[in-house]
């Protein structure tokens, strides 16, 4: 029996999936995303045996052509429903808790709804996906109803996001939005978040830019301005909207309250990326990309090459780089 299975937990939490961390035990509900962290003498000997999340690039195809996109445009799309299911089911057996589909646009992958349902019905994985929403329909939402944890909708100027949000709200979908904050969008921050709240969105994640375009990076003064604005929004919307910042902001958002005291982003250990052309990366912005054939390859690399997976990404914006490696 695995050591984490012998640790007593309250009866109300016994149905949750157990995930060992170093000296701690994470309890996880895949349907709601609810977590409980247990720490004490009983958990002191536990050690993490797998990444918690696999971000899975199911396809490299996309129906948009955003200039800031991090995906490798030359990468092939090598997955089928069967091969993706085989890889992910095997990783679930190794202890992985969640798969987060991206790409590319997941709905551009033929058989995506079938894959989501199979993973929900035949594995213990939580299934999440990020989409630009343009290929999302009420029929497709119905096809995966009850089989996913959360949908993340990316906001762009050209994807009519208010209509996408309204569709998700009307369908009763579990969803949140991702919004890339660049210098020219700072003054839109409050209005955008408040409009999302009015439309019925209850989860907003603000992303920072990673890449070589100087004009998309925030200066120190701009980052401080954003931190103050986010803090004000959090106070105003408390209890109505969960307002979050992605880990790549790092210490630039120091005035904003933190859920955890840790400073490292967890790329390469807590989460990994598997690309559309079957490579393992620490995160989607990283230069390290190691070919893999199957789940055994993935786990062997995760166990033996942590020093390589833990280095900072070369492109500016990585929170592991001194000064975030910023160009200005």
Tokens standing for residue 213 = 């375009």
121 and 240 in a single domain? The answer is: yes
Tokens standing for residue 131 = 């989409």
**Which residues span the domain enclosing 77?**
53-325
Rounded CA-CA distance 91/161 in Å is: 34
pLDDT digits 0-9 by tens, 153-210: 999 988 899 999 999 999 999 999 999 999 999 999 999 999 999 999 999 999 999 9
217 and 273 in a single domain? The answer is: yes
Rounded CA-CA distance 98/28 in Å is: 10
Say what the pLDDT of residue 194 is.
Answer: 97
27: in domain: yes
Q: Convert 22-58 to b/e letters by CB count within 10 Å (16 or more is b).
A: eebbbbbebeeeeeeebeeeebeebebbbbbbbbbbb
Please count the structural domains in the chain.
2
279: in domain: yes
177 and 251 in a single domain? The answer is: yes
At 263, the pLDDT band (50, 70, 90 cuts) reads: confident
Which residue is associated with the tokens 């301005």? 225
173 and 285 in a single domain? The answer is: yes
13 and 134 in a single domain? The answer is: no
Say what the pLDDT of residue 274 is.
Answer: 97
Residues 6+ apart with CB under 8 A from 147: 116, 117, 119, 120, 121, 127
Residues 6+ apart with CB under 8 A from 4: 18, 19, 20, 25, 46
25: in domain: yes
Say what the pLDDT of residue 94 is.
Answer: 97
284: in domain: yes
168 and 66 in a single domain? The answer is: yes
65 and 25 in a single domain? The answer is: no
pLDDT digits 0-9 by tens, 123-136: 999 999 999 999 99
Rounded CA-CA distance 106/96 in Å is: 20
CB 96 within 8 A of CB 52: yes
151 and 252 in a single domain? The answer is: yes
DSSP state of 250: G
Q: How many CB atoms are closer than 10 A to CB 279? A: 17
| Averaged pLDDT for residues 86-100 | 98
316 and 280 in a single domain? The answer is: yes
48: in domain: no
Whether the model clears a pTM of 0.75, i.e. scores above it, the answer is yes
Say what the pLDDT of residue 63 is.
Answer: 54
At 68, the pLDDT band (50, 70, 90 cuts) reads: low
Q: Is the dihedral of CA 112, 118, 121, 126 positive or negative?
A: negative
Tokens standing for residue 234 = 């959090």
169: in domain: yes
133: in domain: yes
**Going by DSSP bridges, is the β-strand pair 17-21/53-57 parallel, antiparallel, or unpaired?**
unpaired
CATH number of the CATH domain containing 239: 3.20.20.70
At 104, the pLDDT band (50, 70, 90 cuts) reads: confident
Say what the pLDDT of residue 72 is.
Answer: 61
At 74, the pLDDT band (50, 70, 90 cuts) reads: low
37: in domain: yes
147 and 168 in a single domain? The answer is: yes
Rounded CA-CA distance 138/256 in Å is: 37
| Intra-chain end-to-end CA distance of the chain, in Å | 53
170 and 198 in a single domain? The answer is: yes
Give percent of the chain above pLDDT 70.
94
32 and 108 in a single domain? The answer is: no
Beta-bridge partners for 286: none
């Amino acid at each position: 029996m695995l050591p984490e299975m012998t640790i007593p937990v309250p009866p109300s939490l016994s149905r949750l999936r157990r995930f060992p961390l170093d000296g701690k035990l994470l309890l996880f509900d895949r349907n709601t995303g609810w977590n409980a962290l247990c720490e004490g003498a009983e958990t002191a000997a536990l050690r993490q045996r797998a990444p918690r999340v696999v971000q899975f690039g199911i396809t490299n195809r996309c129906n948009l052509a955003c200039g800031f996109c991090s995906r490798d445009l030359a990468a092939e799309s090598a997955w089928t429903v069967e091969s993706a299911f085989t890889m992910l089911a095997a990783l679930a057996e190794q202890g992985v808790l969640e798969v987060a589909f991206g790409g590319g646009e997941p709905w551009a992958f033929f058989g995506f709804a079938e894959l989501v349902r199979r993973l929900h019905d035949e594995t213990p994985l939580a299934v999440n996906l990020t989409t630009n929403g343009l290929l999302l329909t009420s029929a497709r939402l119905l096809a995966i109803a009850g089989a996913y944890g959360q949908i993340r909708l990316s906001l762009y100027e050209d994807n009519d996001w208010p209509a996408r949000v309204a569709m998700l709200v009307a369908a009763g979908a579990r969803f949140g939005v991702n919004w890339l904050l660049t210098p020219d969008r700072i003054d839109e921050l409050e209005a955008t978040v408040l409009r999302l709240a009015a439309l019925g969105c209850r989860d907003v994640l603000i992303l920072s830019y990673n890449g070589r375009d100087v004009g998309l990076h925030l200066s120190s003064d701009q980052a401080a301005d954003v931190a103050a604005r986010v803090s004000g929004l959090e106070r105003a919307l408390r209890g109505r909207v969960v307002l979050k910042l992605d880990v790549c902001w790092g210490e630039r958002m120091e005035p904003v309250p933190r859920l955890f005291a840790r400073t490292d982003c967890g790329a390469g250990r807590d989460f990994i990326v598997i690309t559309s052309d079957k490579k393992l990366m620490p995160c989607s912005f990283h230069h390290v990309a190691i070919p893999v054939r199957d789940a055994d390859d993935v786990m062997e690399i995760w166990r033996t090459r942590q020093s390589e997976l833990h280095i900072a990404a070369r492109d500016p914006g990585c929170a592991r780089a001194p000064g975030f490696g910023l160009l200005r």
